[in-house]
Amino acid sequence: MIQRLSKKPLSEGYELWDKGYILGALRLFQCKLEGCPPFEVAPCTDAVGAILEIIEELDEAVEHYDLAAEKYDTIQKKVLGSLMRAKSAAAKGDPEGALKLCNEGLADHDKGAEIDQAKKFQYARLLMTRADLHAQAKNFEAGLKDITDAIGLEPGYDKPGQATHLAHYSKGLIYSDMEDFESADKAFTAAVGLRPEHFASWEALFRTKKELGQLAPAVDALDKAFALHGKAELVREKAFTLSEMGKDDEALEVCDKAIENPPHEETEAFTGPAESVAILHKAKAAILADAGNMDDAAKAIKDALTCDPQDPDAMRMSADITTTLARDYLQKNNIPQFLDALIGHVLQSKPEAPVAFMLEAIEKGAISVP
């Protein structure tokens, strides 16, 4: 596999990454590191570090960022070296240090120096990273300025982190943090317009459309995301959105079809196909429960637990549904009133043996059983 994947072009790794197949992209980049030419070592190491950070393997991410910084310095890409050191600091939990490193790397840009065409994508990446750090510190105005500057450099599409569409995506995330969903919608729409293969932009656009109450366009964005990467979570979100639109039958049909033919998704470290199907059963149970169809909801959640017996959400839902069914049964049979009367009878008499007293009261008809 190493020999086969090491011969793949770097672009294939970035395409997998854009479509949300981050583990496949990670495997390709790691294999390329085993035999790629010297000029590809830095970008490969850079990409591996970024994906390791996404999956929260932070110590390994730091190692790769530090190595990538050395490699970029060696091939005279100093701005990217600064970027790697900043990302390393951020991964270590030092956002202030990361911001300082970004400022140092962007000193020429901030002074208004003319940026060489060949270095524009490098500065754009560093600007986007500084914008993210500003946003984390709630300094949204500074973050938006950096993103606008990055877009103005027109870095074009080469790879994640060196692309104009990612600047628009980052801009949308900042506006979402500000709860300016109209502006976020425009930014994410621009991102998918430039790069329709970018899964995360479609997913973000879905959430923004929902915030704006635009449910039909939200479903369309979900369909676009699903076409790139068939995740069970997207099926669940589509079913919930259809249910919110008053289309419960269509929502349940979406779940049933996906259960019958589960989507082929890339599962992450601690998940597997059974958990993906469990997600669909849980969605079905939630929709049925909201519609008051508790018996069918109980069956659906039982199916979810069959797929994944340790699923904490399914166990919680099962308990809630069972409690609701029990409460309905007791209410239907006047049990609460019976218990109230029985407890009142006990409190009035205050017997020394309450349990025996209750049994005697029921047997002798002092309290009528419903």
Low-confidence ranges of the chain (pLDDT < 70): 156-162, 267-274, 330, 333, 369-370
**Within the chain, what is the greatest distance between any pair of CA atoms?**
98
Handedness of CA 244, 245, 249, 253 (dihedral sign): negative
Q: Which of 290, 276, 289 is nearest to 321 (CA)?
A: 289
- C-alpha span between 39 and 19 (Å, rounded): 25
Q: What pLDDT was estimated at residue 356? A: 86
**272 contact partners, CB below 8 Å, separation of at least 6:** none
Q: Is 57 exposed, middle or buried (0-12, 13-18, 19+ CB in 10 A)?
A: middle
pLDDT given at position 297: 93
Q: Tell the residue number behind the tokens 């949308």, with chain if given.
A: 172
Query: What's the predicted TM-score (pTM) here?
Result: 0.84
Q: Return d(Cα 280, Cα 282) in angstroms, integer.
A: 5
Q: Which residues contact 28 (CB under 8 A, 6 or more apart)?
A: 5, 8, 12, 13, 16
111 backbone dihedrals φ, ψ, rounded to 5°: -85, -5
What residue ranges define each of the domains in the chain, with the CATH number in brackets? Answer: 1-104 (1.25.40.10), 106-224 (1.25.40.10), 230-332 (1.25.40.10), 334-370 (no CATH)
Q: How far is CA 321 from the centre of its chain?
A: 27
pLDDT for 269? 42
pLDDT value at residue 370:
65
